[in-house]
Amino acid sequence: NQKRSIEIQYLENILPIANDGQDVIEGLSSTPKTIPAKYFYDAYGSELFEQICLLPEYYPTRTETEILQQASAEIAELTGVCELVELGSGSSTKTRLLLSAYENLGQPWQYVPIDVSSEILKESALQLHSEYPHLSILGLVGTYEQALLQLPASSLPKRMIVFLGSTLGNFTQEECDRLFNEVRDILQVGDYFLLGIDLQKPKEILEKAYNDSQGVTAKFNLNMLSHLNQRYEGNFDLDSFQHHAIYNQNEQQIEMYLRAKQVQRIQLKKLDLKIEIEVGESILTEISRKFNLEQMEEFLAQHRLKPIKYWTDEKQWFGLILSQL
């Protein structure tokens, strides 16, 4: 098949959405201090996340993979050939199960992976291009917000937005609401939205998953500071911070923090930002919300995304919901 194409587009700075780093300034200037979770994913952070996915304690990836093994053929059958747009595609490892199911339909189709990390996006796009003979790939480097606002028209009659791995868990309820509206707005009637969510479960299991014994999650958390140092000419001293993750039962979310072991004067030159961090003060780097399947179906329906079918594992630890506009 000669006509299939592969292309990578950089979305950064195309549209005047919030200036790069504005959210870092806001987060570090507020109380408590926060840094948006997307700053985990520079090239090394994406690599560390891939390692997390293989950890024995980190059940989400394994569980979602198991569900996708069961459900992919059925999903492809339900939707038929379509354009797959994936938010936060990373290495596209789990997505391959889905991609193979679409490949089995034996017709040309299109995959649009979106990721903030250009390195991992390019690498996996090239790899996929060689693996799937009917597939065209358009990789978009940028945030979800940028991608959803700048998504090129699909050449196929149908589109499915894919949001796996419970990355939705990083969003507050308000941000979920906004994202679902944005997703709905770029879908046409009859298009699909496939969502993978981590489900509520005992605190002990959750806290182990975010405090692994090999310390990979701690490295992943700390790497955010090294990313900010490089990106904005900062002076965070990684040895002065400690990884800390707890399950907040009331909010039903994991909260990851970097706790300062000593007082620090932080400067991010490129952002013209100076802040002070006290001993014992924590920066919130991530929330990872744990959901309830029925409530999520209702929430989708409130956004006119009609649940078609859901899949879960034996223990009901993870859920996959297919909905349609």
Give min distance, CB of 253 to ligand AVJ, in A.
Answer: 9
For residues 145 and 13, is the Cβ–Cβ distance under 8 A? no
Give min distance, CB of 74 to ligand AVJ, in A.
Answer: 24
> Whats the size of the chain, residue-wise?
325
The nearer residue to ligand AVJ, 83 or 115, going by C-beta atoms, is 115
Give min distance, CB of 40 to ligand AVJ, in A.
Answer: 7
The nearer residue to ligand AVJ, 83 or 255, going by C-beta atoms, is 255
Give min distance, CB of 169 to ligand AVJ, in A.
Answer: 5
| Residues contacting residue 75 through CB under 8 Å, at least 6 positions apart | 98, 101, 194, 322
Residues in contact with ligand AVJ by CB under 6 A are 52, 60, 165-167, 169-170, 210, 217, 286, 288
The nearer residue to ligand AVJ, 52 or 67, going by C-beta atoms, is 52
The nearer residue to ligand AVJ, 110 or 166, going by C-beta atoms, is 166
For residues 139 and 122, is the Cβ–Cβ distance under 8 A? yes
3-state secondary structure 232-283: HCECCCHHHEEEEEEEECCCCEEEEEEEECCCEEEEEHHHCEEEEECCCCEE
Query: What phi and psi values does residue 281 have, to the nearest 5 degrees?
Result: -70, 145
The nearer residue to ligand AVJ, 76 or 114, going by C-beta atoms, is 114
CA 222 and chain centroid, separation: 18
The nearer residue to ligand AVJ, 61 or 323, going by C-beta atoms, is 61
Closest by alpha carbon to 197, among 105, 127, 294?
294
Using DSSP, state whether 67 is helix, strand or coil. helix
Give min distance, CB of 292 to ligand AVJ, in A.
Answer: 17
Q: Which residue of the chain is nearest ligand AVJ when measured via CB? A: 288
The nearer residue to ligand AVJ, 320 or 325, going by C-beta atoms, is 320
Give min distance, CB of 50 to ligand AVJ, in A.
Answer: 11
For the chain, give percent helix, strand, coil, nearest 5: 40, 25, 30
Quote the CA–CA distance of 151 and 110 in Å, as a whole number.
13
Peptide bond into 32 cis (omega under 30): yes
Give min distance, CB of 60 to ligand AVJ, in A.
Answer: 6
